[in-house]
Amino acid sequence: MTSTFDAETHTYRIGGAIVPSVTQVIKEVGWVDTTGFNDAARDRGTLVHAALAGLDSGKGCELPGEYSGYLHAWEAFRRESGMDAWQGIELPAFSEAYLFAGTVDRFNRDFIVDIKTGDVPWWGKYQLAAYSLLLGGQLRVGMVVGLGADGTYTAKSYQVLDMVRAQRVFLSALTTCQTKRAEAK
């Protein structure tokens, strides 16, 4: 089956059919408090992610000065954790088996990492577990890194057993999301 991602509309398709993204699933089941979300926050996240992807892939990094703290925070995380070699950077991934998709921020043989511009959310492990499923279910340690505008970061890691449990919870949320969408038609 052909899988596509339209970056402009942030739409994922498998076999021509629109499928939910990981973020849509966790929002639609009510895990994400969207009261603080606005266009400025979305634009900031998009710019920071693009800049960090350029940095990590060696293509260069452009970021407006007001967001330089996020760059410094990511550089500090990389330096202090030793994590700077990635197999995938901002990789759109698809699951034909479960009919969902998402963009994995970073992964290598041992880790899946999700980057946030802000605090590490409680539901981050479920997002990481979903990405693990998108990468074929290979068990890896998960880590959510929250970058601060002040150049600091926080990181929360989830061991393999945490990720196994979180995969089951995410699949339950995915089933709920898909059922709600089907019943709304």
Residue 125 reports pLDDT greater than 80: yes
**Average pLDDT score, the chain:** 94
- pLDDT at residue number 84: 85
- pLDDT at residue number 39: 83
Least confident residue range of 15-19, 41-45, 140-144: 41-45
Single-letter amino acid, residue 57? S
Question: What does the pLDDT look like over 51-106, one tens digit per residue?
Answer: 999 999 999 888 888 999 999 999 999 999 999 899 999 999 999 999 999 999 99
Distance of CA 92 to the CA centre of its chain: 10
pTM of the predicted model as reported, rounded to 2 decimal places:
0.93
Sheet holding 3-6, edge to edge: 3-6, 11-14, 17-19
* pLDDT band (50, 70, 90) for residue 41: confident
User: What one-character-per-residue DSSP string does 137-173 give?
Assistant: S---EEEEEEEPTTS-EEEEEE-HHHHHHHHHHHHHH
Residue 36 reports pLDDT greater than 80: no
- pLDDT at residue number 34: 79
Element (DSSP H or E) covering residue 88: strand 88-95
Phi, psi (deg, nearest 5) at residue 87: -85, -30
Question: Alpha-carbon distance 20 to 24, whole Å?
Answer: 6
Structure token pair of residue 3: 């899988």
